[in-house]
């Protein structure tokens, strides 16, 4: 089957940088120690790099049509390092010139991933080469690891500048996908949000970590919701968020307003003069992105992420942050028996990420649900699309970027095309709810996906540029749950 090597981990020997073994301070077993500088992580080279997990933004395709074009600094760095350093000797046979100059060409086995080290000005840069969709790809092999509260933390120097936690670098905690560090590297470790910073030099790379405290005045249930929200974001390759304090406090005021007798019908706005009216509560209600018929923030998170349409609201860039509030319905009989409501805001910038779409499931994601979660409210245009008897939706989100003619094809483990419907901005699933189809292309399988099965996804689109239309092709895979 095409791409059969995607799940092969590649062993990583000692890397160029002198990164010592883990040195995580503990005040007691399993407890993160904190002092003046918080916790200290000293990384070591990672023993394995699962290539199926490679972010689409961090790989460089060496062959195939359409020809690859660098969409970000990471891909540009890979392209430049490999320029003139590889050649093909027959179909599918690759050779690498590690030292440069063309004196020695090293053949690369095409039946398993290979690690090479390209020497540039006396410095060795680790890359990994592998075949995906029967085409050669390359990515950075500079992966370091540590253990944080019993969980594996990996750091990818994606742009191969010799440093970690840069804006072009990526992090991965245990079984989640890689997510970009950006300007505020964060990981959600259980109930704790941890901010990371470099705490070393070129000779010894360490991270310092500080647990982000819960802001005063925010309900405990909202912080629990933030932890669940960040966990779900990391699973699909999106960076964790901090709490948006101002908006959260405003939503809490709105929840109090709705809970007040006589106001229970004003779910998405407030009326001046009514008891507990506030201008900030009214504004927060009017800009709410997700209104869920549940009385706990945590209960609204998982189902929304496992939907197709509503989850677009949860995939934005980390700033300005996460805001939520909830209330218990005192008169459920007036609201169809619903126990309460939860309001959520989580940013609106959901365009390309490093020049490529945000895809769900993420590359290499495991335990993907076989069934779709129902959406609320159900679209009256195509109610069957939101039924739980269908397969979980596969999607690529590109926002308002000039991507047109987007399509998704999904192959099962036998290489057969999965039956279903494809929706995109030119053919939205629910035009009255979103004429742009949430700035995404969705594939909705007609039937539930098979359990414990690997699926491969092909995304094709046309990018409109000032110099003309450019075709794009991307491939990734995921595995379903039991």
Question: What's the pLDDT tens digit per position in 90-109?
Answer: 887 999 999 999 999 999 99
Sign of CA dihedral 330, 332, 334, 340: positive
Q: What are phi and psi of 281, to 5 degrees?
A: -65, -40
Q: Are residues 365 and 464 in the same domain?
A: yes
Least confident window among 200-204, 340-344, 414-418, 437-441: 200-204
The CATH number that applies at residue 248 is 3.40.33
Burial bucket for residue 463 (CB in 10 Å: 0-12, 13-18, 19+): buried
Identify the DSSP state of 133: T
The 10 Å CB-count burial string (b at 16+, else e) for 110-130 is: beebbbbbbeeeeeebbbbbb
For the stretch 156-162, contacts whose Cβ atoms lie closer than 8 Å and that sit 24 or more positions apart, written own/partner, are 156/58, 158/55, 158/58, 158/74, 159/73, 159/74, 159/77, 160/77, 160/78, 160/81, 160/125, 160/126, 160/127, 161/77, 162/16, 162/17, 162/123, 162/202
- Do 47 and 147 meet the contact criterion of CB atoms below 8 Å apart? no
User: Which spans in 343-407 are helix H?
Assistant: none
Q: Are residues 71 and 113 in the same domain?
A: yes
Tell me if 395 is assigned to some domain.
Answer: yes
Give the rounded percent of residues in the chain with a pLDDT score beyond 90. Answer: 73
Q: Are residues 231 and 203 in the same domain?
A: no
Average pLDDT for 216-227: 97
Q: Are residues 180 and 251 in the same domain?
A: no
Burial bucket for residue 7 (CB in 10 Å: 0-12, 13-18, 19+): middle
Three-state DSSP state, 439? helix
Among residues 213, 242, 263, the one where a domain terminates is: 213
Confidence of residue 4 (pLDDT cuts 50, 70, 90): very low
Question: What's the pLDDT tens digit per position in 260-278?
Answer: 888 878 899 999 999 999 9
Q: Are residues 187 and 163 in the same domain?
A: yes
Q: Are residues 422 and 366 in the same domain?
A: yes
Q: Are residues 365 and 450 in the same domain?
A: yes
Question: What's the pLDDT tens digit per position in 109-124?
Answer: 988 999 999 999 999 9
Average pLDDT for 130-153: 95
**pLDDT tops 70 at residue 279:** yes
HSE-CB at 429 with a 13 A cutoff on CA atoms is 25
Q: What are phi and psi of 267, to 5 degrees?
A: -75, -35
Range of the domain at 438: 358-479
The CATH number that applies at residue 450 is 2.60.40.3780
Q: Are residues 337 and 405 in the same domain?
A: no
Supply angle C-alpha 394, 166, 185, rounded to 5.
Answer: 65
Q: Are residues 131 and 225 in the same domain?
A: no
Helix or strand holding residue 292 (H, E): strand 290-292
Question: What's the pLDDT tens digit per position in 39-60?
Answer: 899 899 998 899 999 999 999 9
Question: What's the pLDDT tens digit per position in 336-363?
Answer: 778 899 999 998 878 999 999 999 999 9
Least confident window among 264-278, 299-313, 325-339, 455-469: 325-339
Q: What is the mean pLDDT of the chain?
A: 88
Higher local confidence (pLDDT), 184 or 205: 184
Tell me if 353 is assigned to some domain.
Answer: no
Tell me if 350 is assigned to some domain.
Answer: no
Among residues 312, 345, 378, the one where a domain terminates is: 345
Tell me if 368 is assigned to some domain.
Answer: yes
Confidence of residue 435 (pLDDT cuts 50, 70, 90): confident
Average pLDDT for 68-85: 97
Sheet holding 114-120, edge to edge: 59-61, 135-140, 123-132, 114-120
- Do 229 and 322 meet the contact criterion of CB atoms below 8 Å apart? yes
HSE-CB at 413 with a 13 A cutoff on CA atoms is 9
Confidence of residue 309 (pLDDT cuts 50, 70, 90): confident
**pLDDT tops 50 at residue 237:** yes
Q: Could you give the number of structural domains in the chain?
A: 3
Tell me if 209 is assigned to some domain.
Answer: yes
Q: Are residues 260 and 138 in the same domain?
A: no
Identify the DSSP state of 53: G
Least confident window among 23-37, 136-150, 199-213, 433-447: 23-37
Closest by CA to 478, choosing from 351, 393, 353, is 393
Tell me if 415 is assigned to some domain.
Answer: yes
The pLDDT score that the predictor gives to residue 156 is: 97
- Do 326 and 333 meet the contact criterion of CB atoms below 8 Å apart? no
The pLDDT score that the predictor gives to residue 24 is: 31
The pLDDT score that the predictor gives to residue 333 is: 74
**pLDDT tops 70 at residue 324:** yes
The pLDDT score that the predictor gives to residue 252 is: 98
Supply angle C-alpha 55, 477, 228, rounded to 5.
Answer: 65
Tell me if 352 is assigned to some domain.
Answer: no
Distance CA 100, CA 102 (A): 6
Q: What are phi and psi of 91, to 5 degrees?
A: -65, 120
Q: Are residues 18 and 167 in the same domain?
A: yes
The pLDDT score that the predictor gives to residue 432 is: 80
The pLDDT score that the predictor gives to residue 30 is: 31
Higher local confidence (pLDDT), 36 or 232: 232
Q: Give the alpha-carbon dihedral of 142, 147, 152, 156, to 10 degrees.
A: -20
The pLDDT score that the predictor gives to residue 23 is: 30
The pLDDT score that the predictor gives to residue 90 is: 81
**pLDDT tops 60 at residue 7:** no
Closest by CA to 192, choosing from 143, 149, 156, is 149
Distance CA 418, CA 410 (A): 6
**pLDDT tops 70 at residue 387:** no
Among residues 345, 370, 397, the one where a domain terminates is: 345
Tell me if 334 is assigned to some domain.
Answer: yes
Q: What are phi and psi of 119, to 5 degrees?
A: -90, 120
Identify the DSSP state of 15: -
Q: Are residues 370 and 322 in the same domain?
A: no
The pLDDT score that the predictor gives to residue 217 is: 96
Average pLDDT for 15-34: 31
**Measuring CA to CA, how many Å separate 19 from each of 155, 202, 369?**
12, 9, 38
């Amino acid at each position: 089957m095409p791409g059969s090597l995607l799940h092969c981990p590649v062993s990583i020997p000692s890397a160029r940088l002198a990164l010592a073994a883990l040195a995580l301070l503990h005040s007691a077993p399993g407890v993160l120690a904190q002092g003046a500088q918080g916790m200290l992580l000293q990384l070591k080279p990672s023993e394995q790099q699962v290539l199926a997990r490679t972010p689409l933004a961090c790989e460089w395709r060496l062959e195939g049509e359409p020809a690859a074009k660098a969409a970000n600094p990471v891909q540009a760095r890979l392209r430049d390092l490999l320029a003139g350093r590889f050649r093909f000797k027959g179909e599918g046979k690759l050779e690498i010139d590690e030292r440069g100059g063309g004196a020695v060409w090293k053949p690369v086995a095409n039946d398993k991933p290979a690690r090479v080290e390209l020497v540039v000005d006396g410095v060795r840069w680790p890359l990994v080469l592998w075949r995906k969709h029967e085409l050669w790809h390359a990515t950075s092999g500079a992966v370091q690891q540590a253990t944080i509260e019993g969980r594996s933390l990996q750091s990818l120097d994606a742009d191969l500048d010799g440093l970690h936690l840069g804006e072009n670098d990526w992090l991965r905690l245990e079984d989640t996908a890689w997510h970009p560090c950006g300007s505020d590297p964060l990981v959600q470790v259980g109930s704790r949000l941890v901010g990371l910073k470099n705490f070393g030099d070129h000779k010894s790379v360490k991270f310092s970590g500080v647990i982000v405290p819960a802001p005063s005045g925010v309900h405990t249930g909202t912080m629990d919701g933030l932890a669940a929200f960040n966990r779900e974001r990391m699973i699909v390759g999106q960076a964790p968020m901090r709490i948006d304090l101002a908006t959260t406090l405003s939503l809490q005021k709105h929840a109090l307003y709705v809970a007040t007798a006589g106001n229970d019908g004003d779910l998405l706005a407030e009326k001046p003069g009514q008891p507990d009216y506030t201008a900030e509560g009214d504004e927060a209600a009017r800009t709410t992105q997700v209104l869920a018929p549940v009385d706990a923030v945590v209960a609204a998170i998982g189902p929304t992420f496992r939907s197709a349409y509503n989850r677009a609201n949860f995939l934005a860039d980390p700033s300005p942050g996460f805001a939520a509030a909830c209330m218990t319905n005192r008169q459920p009989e007036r609201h169809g028996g619903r126990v309460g409501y939860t309001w959520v805001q989580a940013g609106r910038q959901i365009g390309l990420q490093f020049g490529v779409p945000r895809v769900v499931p993420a590359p290499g994601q495991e335990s993907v649900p076989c069934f779709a979660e129902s959406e609320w409210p159900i679209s009256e245009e195509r109610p069957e699309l939101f039924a739980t008897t269908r397969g979980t939706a596969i999607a690529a989100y590109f926002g308002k970027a000039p991507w047109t003619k987007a399509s998704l094809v999904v192959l099962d483990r036998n290489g057969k095309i999965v039956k279903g419907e494809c929706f995109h901005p030119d053919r939205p699933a629910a035009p009255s709810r979103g004429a742009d189809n949430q700035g995404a292309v969705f594939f909705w399988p007609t039937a539930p996906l098979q359990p414990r099965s690997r699926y491969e996804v092909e995304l094709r689109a046309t990018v409109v540029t000032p110099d003309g239309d450019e075709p794009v092709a991307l491939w990734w895979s995921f595995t379903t749950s039991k």
